[in-house]
Amino acid sequence: MEYFDFQACMNESLFTNDAQQFFNIYKAKSIKELIELRIPDNPNIKKAYYLKFLLAVSDSISEGNEILSNLRDSCKLINLVPQYNIQISNLIDSIISRMVSQTEDTDYIIELMAIAKTLEAPPEFLTAFSLCEFKLYEIISNYGQEMMKTEINDSVIIYLKKIKKAVEVNENLLPLVNNVIQAAKWYLEKKVEEIKDENDEENVFGIEAWNIFDLIESLCLNDIGLEFIKKDLESKFARKIKAHKSEKETLIYEPCDEDASVVFDSYKIINKQELNIQGIPLRSHPGGINSYIYKAYYQNQKVCIKVYNGNKNHPSFNSVLIEILILEELDKINSNKYLKYFGKSIVDEDNIRQVFIVTQWIEKDLLQYIEEVYSKNLTIPENKLKVMFKKLAKIYKNLHERKIYHMDIKPANILISEDEKLYVIDFNVSAKEIDVYTHSKSYSEGHVGTNGYMAPEIQLVTDCYMHNDPIFQRNFKRSKADVFSLGMTFLHMLNLFQQGLNRIERESELKSTLKKAPEWAKSLLEEMLDFNKAKRPYMSDVFFKLNQINST
């Protein structure tokens, strides 16, 4: 670790008069006393406090939830004192590394790994994150042996929940724990086979079995054997299936079934009469329900209004709800990084529903920008391309960190303002959930994405080659699909895009095209556009590499 002189740092820029006065009054000498201090809302005092806490923890052997909470808060120091961000990150990394080496508590290690993930470097370059990963793998590996021996359903559920929690923090653990997941599947299969009488009222295994099945299904990698277990479960526990499904329907991003209308909350409701919509729609999107884009005015501001219109019980309104929930979540961040969201208006008349989504108006999308440049036989300057690539990667990285996967990345879904700020739009096919391997829907089920930009494993389904093959239907990952689509968008910005290069049969043609990319972008694009999704980087890796490219 790079040497970091705490006292010099505090004397130089943190230990201001107000901070000195505070700590002269409240002389906390131990970690416990520091934790119990009530810190005023003063940035100078907060900086000094976080620094004193890190110094105290680095010189002691301590653990506990209070330490975790304060350690998590102390990470704010990285942004509060940017001139020392690398040194502070290294210090926190060394603290976490020591704490991990002193505990065998799975939940505690997962929490430490989550903190390590926030430090000023990608996880794979941090000692603490790698140490957490290694230790968790060691602990979780033992779960498989325990599952093979146990007869207690609750134990298996607890093991799987811990694995799921670990994977949510670090997706790289998923392939490493596959043997444990297979042991859980074996356990469930054995238990289901042992059940002889579905009407035995003393047998309470049904709901527990579905809980175990759900956890395995959310973690499983391309395992068609689960379909057979599911059929066996359904045949033996048919009377419990309805209860099992109703639990799923309480999830906020799976709001209702096909026979119920979607319920929207009261956040930022706009009276439709306040919307001044004029002229004909600029764009329309036919589908299960009609969708139109208008330029309009709201509160004397030029705005964009997206209108959805259709039978209020149509299941497509589920996607509308997801889009609104994502816009509202981003709006609550209170950041100018995302398109300004003014609110929504819901109008129901008999069985017809209209939903109006009001956002900031920006005249031009990235596709128009690209076409304007290249139609004049010009090119986008290299330095500008590097900056734009980095900005886009950062936007999608931030979305992925919030478990938001766009699923339709393309130049037409990115707006560019007059001062060249970039904004992501059209979350109507996006997903907000844990990023695990998942089902690929068939084209007839309303698959997502745009031809030419989709990941090849999804394009296959859209082309109706293999959409009924159960081996294929669990064979894509949202985060890796987004990375591929962003790679195709980058290719378009380099004026190298051709429709259809994402199809399996044109893989060699895509590779030849990538040879024409500039040297600074070539290796990254080759990784992002790898047809083997397992070899594609995560969005955080893409951003890190672009950050390096921009710094050279």
Residue 210 is predicted with a pLDDT of: 77
Cβ(415)–Cβ(365) below 8 Å: yes
CB atoms inside a 10 Å sphere around CB 378: 10
pLDDT band at 34, cuts 50/70/90? low
pLDDT band at 145, cuts 50/70/90? confident
Cα angle value 258/304/392 (rounded, 5°): 85
Q: Which structure tokens are listed for 451? A: 């031809």
Cα angle value 303/339/496 (rounded, 5°): 110
Higher pLDDT, 281 or 338: 338
Residue 195 is predicted with a pLDDT of: 62
Residue 261 is predicted with a pLDDT of: 59
Could you give the count of Cα atoms lying within 13 Å of 529 in the half-sphere of its Cβ? 31
pLDDT tens per residue, range 309-328: 888 888 888 888 889 999 99
Length of the chain: 552
**Cα(185)–Cα(212) distance, integer angstroms:** 9
Residue 154 is predicted with a pLDDT of: 66
pLDDT band at 191, cuts 50/70/90? confident
**Cα(382)–Cα(87) distance, integer angstroms:** 32
pLDDT band at 516, cuts 50/70/90? very high
**Cα(99)–Cα(108) distance, integer angstroms:** 9
Q: Which structure tokens are listed for 515? A: 């040879």
pLDDT band at 11, cuts 50/70/90? low
Sign, CA torsion 9/13/17/19 = negative
The mean per-residue pLDDT over the stretch 336-343 comes to 89
Domains within the chain, CATH numbers bracketed? 6-102 (no CATH), 136-248 (no CATH), 272-360 (3.30.200.20), 364-551 (1.10.510.10)
